[in-house]
């Protein structure tokens, strides 16, 4: 788990949404409060977010987008190819980052260990230091409210920011659908 951020994604019935906070820390110091750690990929068909080293994550976004292009946007095939390349490459394997990628059909957590994890419920995933807080809040809100996907993400990240010192309230979201 990285003490760097909180990224939360939800593949709901109407929309796929990803959100993240804007805090960048170095040790115990906040370097920036308005960073963007989420983006759209492959002509706006895939959402992605990262936790960990910023430079490493941007490198991984670019490589993952190349795999998406090679696989013509087929997320499952691109995720598998990307994870194999990430794990096999001696330089990439040392990168300190995790990613969440999703489209309207699938959601995955990716790591440099070769992990390709599709959440058990197939709907909600979180990474980063505030990930446990955010996913707990999202599951509770999903179960006990009728919030739309984007509001659920924002409210859950707000709860995580209230609890995690590495997560702030500068929340950004992107959605598909």
DSSP 170: -
Q: What residues contact 145, with CB distance under 8 A and at least 6 apart? A: 152
Q: 51 is written with which tokens?
A: 């936790």
Euclidean distance between the first and the last CA atom of the chain, given in angstroms as a whole number: 30
Rounded Cα distance, 19 and 50, in Å: 10
Q: What residues contact 129, with CB distance under 8 A and at least 6 apart? A: 1, 2, 3, 4, 5, 6, 51, 164, 166, 167
Active site residues: 5
The alpha carbon torsion through 108, 84, 26, 155 (nearest 10 deg) reads: 0
């Amino acid at each position: 788990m990285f003490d760097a951020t909180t990224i939360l994604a939800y593949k709901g019935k109407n929309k796929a949404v990803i959100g993240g906070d804007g805090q960048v820390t170095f040790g115990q110091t906040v370097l920036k409060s308005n960073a963007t750690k989420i983006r759209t990929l492959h002509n706006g068909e895939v959402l992605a977010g990262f936790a960990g080293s910023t430079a490493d994550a941007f490198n991984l976004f670019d490589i993952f987008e190349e795999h998406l292009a090679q696989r013509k946007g087929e997320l499952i095939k691109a995720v598998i190819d990307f994870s194999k390349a990430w794990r096999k490459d001696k330089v990439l394997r040392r990168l300190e980052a995790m990613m969440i990628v999703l489209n309207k059909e699938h959601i995955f957590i990716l790591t440099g260990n070769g992990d390709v994890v599709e959440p058990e419920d197939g709907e909600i995933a979180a990474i980063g230091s505030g990930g446990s807080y955010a996913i707990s809040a999202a599951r509770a809100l999903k179960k006990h409210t009728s919030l739309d996907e984007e509001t659920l993400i924002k409210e859950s990240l707000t709860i995580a920011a209230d609890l995690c010192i590495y997560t702030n309230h500068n929340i950004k979201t992107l959605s598909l659908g």
